[in-house]
Amino acid sequence: MLNSPQLKSNPSLLVFLPLFYTVWSDAVLTPSEIATIEGLINSQQWLSKQEQDFLLTQLNPSSPPSANELISWREEIKKGADQTEGKTLVDIGFKLVSLHNKGIVPESVFQAKPALINIEATLGFISHEAAFNFQSGTRDTVTQQQITQHTFDVDALTKILDGKNEAIIHKVKTVIADPEFNYVDPGDINTYREKVLQWCHLLADQGFGAMAYPKEYGGQDDMASYFAIMETLSYHDLSLVIKFGVQFGLWGMSVYFLGTEKHHKKYLKDIGSLELPGCFAMTETHHGSNVKGIETTATYDPSTKTIVINTPHVYARKEYIGNAACHGQMATVFAKLIVDGKDYGVSAVVVPLRDKNGKTLPGITIEDCGRKMGLNGVDNGKIEFRNVVVPLENLLDRYTGITDDGKFTSTISSDNRRFFTMLGTLVGGRIGIPRAGLSASKSGLTIAIKYGDQRKQFGPEAAAEVPILNYRTHQRRLMPLLANAYALHFSLQYLTERFLKRSEKEMQEIEALAAGLKSFTTWNATATLQECRECCGGKGYLSENRIDDLKNDTDVFTTFEGDNTVLMQLVAKSRLTEFKQEFGHMNLFGILNYVADQAKTSITELNPITVRNTDEEHLLDPEFQLHAFKYRERDILTSAAKRLKRHIDSGMDSFDAFNVSQHHLVQVSFAYIERLVLEKFIEQVNNTKNEGCKAILKKLCDLFALSQIDKNKGWYLEQGYMEGVKTKAIRKLVNQLCWEVRQEAVPLVNAFAIPESCLAAPIVVNGK
């Protein structure tokens, strides 16, 4: 085109060149584009028929311009772009005409300007964008301007996160950063299992395993440090964490909590030093969550004062028992205690499995569960007992015992209360598992956020690429999850404190809280790690970057220590019990006050002004946020109670009533846990003295709160608690908070202070 005789005789034809180049630059000229430009050319009275025909030949899809022609067109257009202040393709076209026509643009061509501009708009070009593509120099956009900032002291925030456990956390991080703890290839399952056992021995040598046991048995009587150790180890290999937890937590704590002094003296020191590896044998093939229904029997023989452990059939085998397949020498076995022919419910008995040389003892059959989705450094096994005889003293008798004359005895007369008291041993696990899952989430977020801050892709035309963390969709995927991690950190700290300072009358509430937070946190871990994997693209799919191990190893956490959905129903039943008791303890005056409070809520929160209030100060007010969560929690709980009562009053069996209401009950639990998490996050913000840390924690707290409201906006709209204008404003504010948190995201994950050797992800360049 540039060397054509038509152009040499009439340089004004160059006015079309920017337009032609732009439509051809997409590689395909569509029929509608051709028709639009043909109409423009044919309508120009200043063009001769020969010039019109020539221009139309430049639009022939069967004869497109060559690559070299397009390059020469672009170079020519750039000459005009660099010498004009124009913002459109038409402006550049006029400049080209001027450059090739002694600085003159004929009047006839000027008269065509409105038509040319109209065509540019019709073709869908963003004028200033299209023109900018041809101009030299850098392009500065808001997206490009986003960079990592440091507005708070990272070390100070780390101290806030570590709290009272700072010293032990630092010690554990130092130990697991040692070369002895370098990762091994999990592909060789036997080598992997032995390495995990070796790591556990190294940790036991440091006194970490016995930390929670009394000092007279080699421990420090420090349960808080034990939980901190478990959480910190979870930055390393999760098979190590689980094996550590099985040995020193489940096996050791079951002996400690369910046994008495004779058991403590006999076993605890060796358990804490790992001289006596053991198991926690509760789950059966056909009885997982329903512990009360287990079928393994422990029958007392008064003639020999022994207990006979028996597996009645294959589906009553103990299954998925950690430490069983290779290393366990003893197990706390949960079984129905049969005394004088009567079933006294579930009790716990210490049963030997192997001798010191690892040989399985008579009557014991152990089968390896084999390779799993993850946690292949843990030797899970199936155990079958064939009339295995153990002495009476092996009965863990803190709550159940047998007298010298062969009678069952217990300090707790109620079967149900005794059962649930005994299961209190599980609460520690339901604290340790979510804390481990949260650590895995923090590791995944650290890898994904640091990678997103470094990895550049796409960007404005003719400008540098930008970090993928600058893209709004990337921020919406990761920043709320980062806020979740911080929110859950403080709520799990609260749960741990409640457990450590528990009184007997609080245990039901603490058990429900532990069950709910375990479920919420481990579901969040699964979602977080999947998002982190996707946000790292193909790099996240590579095993070397560790997200696959984190995903696979934590996947079982949603059913570990109790299936999450079942646990959430347990939480709902606890909330309904408290709801019933609350009304049961009210007199008429109290009930009237409650009704008045509900009416007050309706007046203050459901008035037309409040439900439509989009003021940012209002939406960022923690009082508004917490009220919204509390309103949802109370309303769902009340409606669930009414629904169950309606079913039961109509004659439906209570079991069926709960069954048909299960989805509703799970929502009761979510509303309760979400409210509690927000409440504890707000408390942490208010209690933080460091102003820089307080400001960023407030921002994360706002993001957590508004993200949850946005997630549940359908419910709020249905209830009339908010109108569409308000939920739209909340969504917009979530976007803005994600934009702001992105700029401090790297320092925020740095505050987790995860050892480089534990992250071990090559995509995080130099740990930055």
Residue pLDDT, tens place only, 220-249? 999 999 999 999 999 999 999 999 999 999
- On whether both 659 and 524 belong to a single domain, the answer is yes
pLDDT at position 599: 46
**Is the per-residue pLDDT at 139 higher than 70?**
no
The answer as to whether 144 is a domain residue is no
At CB < 8 A and 24+ separation, what contacts does 667-671 make? Answer: 667/636, 667/640, 668/571, 668/572, 668/575, 668/576, 668/633, 668/636, 668/637, 668/640, 669/516, 669/519, 669/568, 669/569, 669/571, 669/572, 669/575, 670/520, 670/568, 671/629, 671/632, 671/633, 671/636, 671/637
For residue 574, the enclosing domain spans 428-767
- On whether both 323 and 392 belong to a single domain, the answer is yes
In this prediction the pTM is 0.85
The answer as to whether 142 is a domain residue is no
Nearest CA to 116 out of 183, 216, 68, 44 is that of 44
The answer as to whether 171 is a domain residue is no
Owner of token pair 């422990």: 298
**Is the per-residue pLDDT at 591 higher than 50?**
no
pLDDT at position 588: 42
What's the rounded mean pLDDT across residues 742-762?
95
- On whether both 464 and 533 belong to a single domain, the answer is yes
- On whether both 615 and 659 belong to a single domain, the answer is yes
Give the tokens for residue 36: 């639009």
* 647/120: higher pLDDT: 647
pLDDT at position 27: 59
- On whether both 417 and 441 belong to a single domain, the answer is no
pLDDT at position 576: 85
**Is the per-residue pLDDT at 140 higher than 70?**
no
The answer as to whether 280 is a domain residue is yes
Alpha helices in 58-105 (DSSP H): 67-82, 89-99
The Cα-based distances of 394 to 306, 375, 628 in angstroms read: 9, 31, 53
- On whether both 9 and 114 belong to a single domain, the answer is yes
CATH number at residue 185: 2.40.110.10
What's the rounded mean pLDDT across residues 564-570?
92
- On whether both 386 and 434 belong to a single domain, the answer is no
The answer as to whether 154 is a domain residue is no
Number of domains forming the structure of the chain = 3
pLDDT at position 59: 82
- On whether both 401 and 437 belong to a single domain, the answer is no
What's the rounded mean pLDDT across residues 120-134?
63
Nearest CA to 256 out of 286, 284, 223 is that of 223
The answer as to whether 508 is a domain residue is yes
- On whether both 288 and 342 belong to a single domain, the answer is yes
Angstrom distance (rounded) from CA 540 to CA 530: 10
**Is the per-residue pLDDT at 98 higher than 80?**
yes
pLDDT at position 427: 82
The answer as to whether 146 is a domain residue is no
**Is the per-residue pLDDT at 589 higher than 50?**
no
Q: 95-99, 132-136, 302-306 — which one is most confidently predicted on average?
A: 302-306
For residue 392, the surrounding DSSP H or E stretch is none
- On whether both 122 and 209 belong to a single domain, the answer is no
* 597/624: higher pLDDT: 624
Beta carbons of 400 and 337 less than 8 angstroms apart:
yes
- On whether both 392 and 474 belong to a single domain, the answer is no
The answer as to whether 67 is a domain residue is yes
Beta carbons of 290 and 239 less than 8 angstroms apart:
no
